[in-house]
Amino acid sequence: MVDWVDVGAADDLAKAGVSRCVTPKARLAVSFRDGTFGAIASACNHAGGPLRQGHLDGERVVCPWHQWRFHRCNGHGATAEQGNVQSYPVKVEDGRVLVDVGTATSRVGSKRAPHPLARPVERAPGPLRLAGISTTAMDPDNRRFSGSDHLLGIALDSARSAGAETQMIRLDDLKFHACRGYYSKAAGACTWPCSITQMHADDELTPVYEALVYWADAIVVATLIRWGAASWLYFKMAERLNCIQNAITTKNKVLIKNKVAGFIIVGGQDNIQSVAGQMICFFAELGFLFPQFPYIAHSRGWSHEDMENNVEHVRTSPEIAEGARELAERCLAYAQQLLDSEGTPDSIARGGRKANH
């Protein structure tokens, strides 16, 4: 039924490329270009982003979240997979812009196939599985010994000897994009699967998501220490894992359940407790659980930054190697306990937790 609604003065709306107009019946993205007004629904077909806060690129309104584009007058997406958003008749009378919010075209949802990472989270049957994540960066043509990788290798060998399946993921071998901070636009803009994974076919962080969310029962993350902090590759990965935590914040959807994390931290100087604390805090917010003594570490301290001796000690120390073996054993033993139990509940009270609303 026709229902013309006054959305504002034509002179004012003509000044902005795209204006936000909220009526009792619809949220609109009203636009003006070349003497013509257009009105389309504000909710983007991708993840509900606010087209009313977008900008114009030619005749299209560009979504501010991930840049899907819709024709500002007929609502057609720039590609078939983007579908159409509703469009509304517009007229100008007596200097006022009127939109008929009762006569919208139909929304045609996105025809894009769901990303493979959007499938239900179910543990595939099989033996215990341990994923090692190396965050060491080095010159690929001149590889050097890495103490943290060395210990991670020992941990994985130990897990295989105990009958577990293992995989080693070297972040340095993966070409993955840095986080673009979509969360800073709006919580809903940081999606699961990661917006960047969905937008960039060349992004190679998928093996990490697959291992953390689907494949592994336990993970061991190994890092060096640089200036008192974990590896830059660790942080590059961690920022991209925000989407896992954000699924809890925005949808109360816990993707990581009944999984165990342990850590190997090797530094020339110190700050082990700070690095371990930060890593444990982050992986706890993703949903991981921890065995007793969840990390092993080594450092020669502030006044012993003699890397040759430090590296040699890590390479030859039977005690540290045994520590790596037992860390893997602890992680797998706890993972087995979780598999044998009812595990963590599906829903956990939000009060007092990160970003509870």
Binding site for ligand FES (CB under 6 A): 44, 46-49, 63, 65-68
Q: Which residues pair with 98 in a beta bridge?
A: 6, 91
Q: How far is the CB of 45 from ligand FES (least distance, A)?
A: 7
Radius of gyration of the chain (CA): 26
Minimal CB distance to ligand FES: which residue?
A: 49
Q: How far is the CB of 285 from ligand FES (least distance, A)?
A: 24
Q: Which residues pair with 21 in a beta bridge?
A: 28
Q: How far is the CB of 188 from ligand FES (least distance, A)?
A: 8
> Residue 52 or 236: which CB sits closer to ligand FES?
52
> Residue 66 or 298: which CB sits closer to ligand FES?
66
> Residue 183 or 334: which CB sits closer to ligand FES?
183
Q: How far is the CB of 237 from ligand FES (least distance, A)?
A: 23
> Residue 112 or 226: which CB sits closer to ligand FES?
112
> Residue 41 or 314: which CB sits closer to ligand FES?
41
Q: How far apart are CA 245 and CA 49, in angstroms?
A: 19
* Phi/psi of residue 278, nearest 5 degrees: -65, -40
Torsion angle defined by CA atoms of residues 63, 66, 68 and 69, in that order, rounded to the nearest 10 degrees: 40
Q: How far is the CB of 65 from ligand FES (least distance, A)?
A: 4
- Could you give the C-alpha distances from 86 to 56, 80, 81, 107, in angstroms and in order? 17, 15, 15, 5
Residues 95-118, buried b or exposed e (16+ Cβ, 10 A)? eebbbbbeebbebbebeeeeeebe
> Residue 110 or 269: which CB sits closer to ligand FES?
110
Q: How far is the CB of 14 from ligand FES (least distance, A)?
A: 25
How are beta strands 295-299 and 260-267 bridged, if at all? Answer: parallel
